């Protein structure tokens, strides 16, 4: 079995494990969150799920994201055991940088947040204590980063599955138990304790997996360069790439979390709670399926295309096949959501959301998420490809464009929320536009990447588009589902009362799936055969 094929097989196994992990963790969290949102007010939930999570993600993303992505391109092995040991030491040294970056980042981010938070937010009981615990939780998680990088590069997804699975359980159980045991005034601290439990559990589980093999100090490596012995701690190319990607992560973080930042500044706390619960529900599918796919595809593209010669046809063909298969999958997801999401959203929201959240911005935000989810999926895999193969000059060019996209996002967000009066859903639509711009830029890079290697025919949007009969089937189903919604618009939003409307949707869905099977059977069979051969 070739290196590319064995890598694809390992990557598919990793993706399967990660999807199962996300399925377990998100469903477990979803079930307990249904109880959590009934124990706290929208104000408390908004503070914890929007503002505290933004603080946490800022510390983690800026400290580790650039290094984490750069180290995916680390060589898998050396030609000799001595060289392999030196390579591993240089990679290990760089993997310690997130810890060193994390301490000042946590201090600065925490002080800035405490300084700029509104009086309504800071006046909540034990607010400052909760903020400090969240910052410590981020540092706990960063301590496990060197071991996370090691497991990622070794494709030991079992280690990550155990660690993250246990951490999610501990986080949710601790937060839930604290909310039940402590008085209501300690609600923010309860969420903070849950996050601290997550970080500590991650550290303990990774340390257990690499017991006796954990290295938390830098090793000196001596190499011969032009007959001279040179002492180094970092691989120069990987360090330069880490620096480029860390600098880019500042802009990327704002684009990723810009909606939370603006919500925390523009919206009342109650609406922040509505936005948070809508985001949690709306992104459930994205987190279960798309996040693992994005992460594993980044590993696969990095290892496949960075370890092979730049014009290797087999490597290019494998990468192209996987990329277009994912894009075709996401195109079907877009059709599915746009066809059935709007006509059945009101019924779904009434069944899932607690009654007091139905009067917040949550239902309107969920409607916008129907379009946000596929945009996130397309952008995620395309940017994963770009991040996997881009040279430092390409990353600098992308950073400049992303800075321009940031300005466009802010203008669009303020215009939609304030000028057009769309409220918080305007932030989601601004994010959709931002994601589409970023995806368009990444797709342009993909075309250029294959084109400059004499393989321009391997990249085409037509490979990601379903055949015309499938598009027609979804269009007809969309019209029928919306007609059914109009017929049942005055019927109470209860499952029993809306059973006819639900039945129409099921029949339309079956019709769409049957059309896909009839007209795309050959495509699906080809992909399945190709994957089985790996």
Residue 33 has pLDDT above 70, yes or no: no
Give 479 or 402, the one with higher predicted confidence: 479
Q: For residue 224, tell me if it sits in a domain.
A: no
User: Picking from 93-97, 199-203, 256-260, 514-518, which range would have the lowest pLDDT averaged per residue?
Assistant: 256-260
Here the tokens at position 416 are 């939609």
Residues 421-428 have a mean pLDDT of 83
Q: How far apart are alpha carbons 120 and 429 in whole angstroms?
A: 27
Instruction: Give CA–CA dist 244/282, Å, rounded.
Output: 32
Same domain, 137 and 285: yes
21-30, 106-115, 415-424, 447-456: lowest mean pLDDT where? 21-30
- My answer on whether 342 and 478 are in the same domain is no
For the chain, give the percent of residues with pLDDT over 90. Answer: 31
Same domain, 120 and 178: yes
Q: Is residue 225 one of the residues assigned to a domain? A: no
Contact 272, 47 (CB under 8 A): yes
> Which tokens hold the place of 145?
């980063």
Would you say residue 222 has pLDDT above 50?
Answer: yes
Q: Residue 357: CB partners within 8 Å, gap ≥ 6? A: 37, 42, 273, 274, 277
Confidence class for position 1, pLDDT limits 50, 70, 90: very low
> Looking at 255-264, 335-344, 475-484, which range is the least confident one?
255-264
Percent of the chain whose pLDDT exceeds 70: 85
**Cβ neighbours around 30 below 10 Å, total:** 15
- Given 438, 465, 492, which residue is the final one in a domain? 465
Residues 374 and 505 in one domain: no
Using the Cα atoms of residue 388, residue 393, residue 396 and residue 401 in order, give the sign of their dihedral.
negative
How confident is the model over 111-124, as a mean pLDDT? Answer: 91
Q: Decide if 195 is inside a domain.
A: yes
Contact 330, 15 (CB under 8 A): no
**Is 288 a member of any domain?**
yes
Least confident of 17-31, 327-341, 404-418, 465-479: 17-31
Pair 443, 509 in one domain: no
Judgement on whether residues 165 and 211 belong to the same structural domain of the protein: yes
61 within 8 A of 138, measured Cβ to Cβ: no
The confidence score (pLDDT) of residue 340 equals 94
Convert the pLDDT of each residue in 37-63 to its tens digit. 777 887 888 899 889 999 999 999 999
Q: Is a pLDDT exceeding 50 seen at residue 246? A: yes
Which of the 8 DSSP states describes residue 488? Answer: T
**Overall pTM > 0.85:** no
Q: Is the pLDDT of residue 323 over 70?
A: yes
The verdict on 304 and 237 lying in the same domain is yes
Work out the average pLDDT over 235-247.
85
Three-class SS string for 359-383? CCCHHHHHHHHHHHHHHHHHHHHHH
Is the pLDDT at 161 greater than 70? The verdict is yes
Checking if the pLDDT of 483 tops 90, the result is: yes
Establish if 81 belongs to a structural domain.
yes
> Greater confidence, 263 or 207?
207
Q: Dump pLDDT digits (tens) for 135-155.
A: 999 999 999 999 988 888 777
* Residues 37, 445: Cα–Cα separation, whole Å: 43
**205 and 334 assigned to the same domain:** yes
pLDDT in tens, 307-316: 556 567 888 8
Whether residues 121 and 170 share a domain: the answer is: yes
- Asked whether residue 222 is assigned to any structural domain, the reply reads no
pLDDT at position 92 is: 81
In a domain, 223, yes or no: no
Interval 235-252 mean pLDDT: 83
Chain centroid to CA 345: 23
Residues 479 and 442 in one domain: no
Q: Does the pLDDT at position 414 exceed 60?
A: yes
Task: Indicate the residue among 465, 491, 511 that finishes a domain.
Answer: 465
The reply to whether 275 and 337 lie within a common domain is yes
Give me the DSSP letters along 443-483.
HHHHHHHHHTTT-GGG--GGGGS--HHHHHHHHHHHHHHHH
The domain total for the chain is 2
- Residue span of the structural domain in which 370 resides: 3-216+230-465
Q: Which of 465, 485, 506 is the last residue of a domain?
A: 465
pLDDT for res 14: 55
pLDDT at 109 exceeding the cut of 60: yes
Phi (first) and psi of residue 228, to 5 degrees: -115, 140
Residues 129 and 111 in one domain: yes
């Amino acid at each position: 079995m070739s290196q590319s094929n064995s890598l694809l097989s390992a990557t598919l196994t990793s993706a399967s494990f990660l999807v199962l992990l996300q399925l377990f963790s998100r469903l477990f969290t979803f079930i307990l969150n249904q109880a959590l949102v009934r124990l706290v007010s929208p104000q408390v939930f908004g503070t914890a799920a929007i503002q505290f999570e933004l603080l946490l993600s800022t510390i983690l993303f800026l400290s580790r994201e650039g290094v984490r992505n750069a180290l995916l391109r680390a060589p898998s092995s050396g030609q000799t055991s001595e060289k392999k040991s030196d390579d591993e030491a240089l990679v290990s040294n760089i993997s310690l940088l997130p810890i060193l970056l994390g301490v000042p980042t946590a201090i600065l981010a925490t002080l800035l947040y405490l300084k700029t938070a509104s009086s309504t937010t800071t006046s909540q009981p034990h607010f400052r204590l909760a903020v400090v615990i969240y910052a410590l939780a981020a540092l706990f998680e960063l301590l496990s980063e060197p071991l996370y990088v090691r497991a990622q590069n070794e494709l030991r997804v079992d280690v990550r599955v155990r660690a993250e699975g246990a951490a999610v359980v501990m986080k949710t159980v601790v937060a839930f138990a604290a909310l039940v045991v402590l008085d209501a005034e300690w609600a923010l601290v309860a969420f903070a304790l849950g996050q601290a439990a997550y970080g500590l559990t991650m550290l303990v589980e990774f340390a257990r997996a690499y017991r006796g093999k954990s290295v938390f100090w830098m090793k000196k490596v001596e190499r011969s360069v032009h007959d001279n012995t040179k002492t180094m701690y970092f691989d120069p190319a990987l360090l330069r790439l880490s620096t480029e990607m860390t600098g880019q992560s500042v802009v990327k973080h704002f684009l990723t979390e810009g909606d939370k930042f603006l919500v925390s500044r523009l919206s009342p706390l109650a609406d922040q709670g509505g936005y948070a619960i809508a985001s949690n529900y709306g992104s459930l599918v994205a987190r279960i399926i798309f996040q693992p796919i994005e992460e594993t595809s980044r590993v696969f593209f990095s290892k496949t295309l960075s370890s092979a010669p730049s014009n290797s046809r087999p490597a290019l063909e494998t990468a192209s096949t996987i990329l277009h298969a994912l894009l075709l999958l996401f195109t079907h997801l877009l059709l599915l959501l746009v066809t059935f999401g709007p006509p059945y959203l009101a019924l779904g929201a009434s069944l899932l959301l607690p009654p007091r959240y139905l009067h917040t911005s949550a239902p309107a935000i969920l409607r916008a998420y129907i379009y946000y989810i596929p945009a996130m999926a397309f952008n995620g895999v395309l940017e994963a490809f770009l991040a996997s193969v881009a040279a430092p000059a390409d990353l600098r060019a992308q950073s400049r464009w992303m800075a321009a996209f940031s300005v466009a996002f802010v203008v669009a967000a303020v215009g939609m929320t304030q000028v057009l009066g769309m409220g918080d859903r305007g932030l989601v639509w601004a994010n959709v536009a931002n994601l589409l711009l970023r995806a368009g830029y990444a797709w342009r890079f993909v075309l250029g990447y294959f084109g400059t290697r004499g393989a321009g025919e391997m990249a085409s949007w037509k490979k990601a588009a379903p055949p015309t009969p499938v598009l027609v089937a979804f269009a007809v189903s969309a019209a029928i589902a919306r007609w059914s919604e109009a017929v049942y618009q005055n019927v109470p939003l209860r499952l029993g009362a809306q059973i006819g409307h639900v039945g129409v949707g099921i029949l339309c869905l079956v019709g769409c799936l049957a059309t896909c099977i009839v007209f795309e059977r050959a495509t699906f069979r080809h992909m399945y055969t190709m994957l089985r051969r790996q």
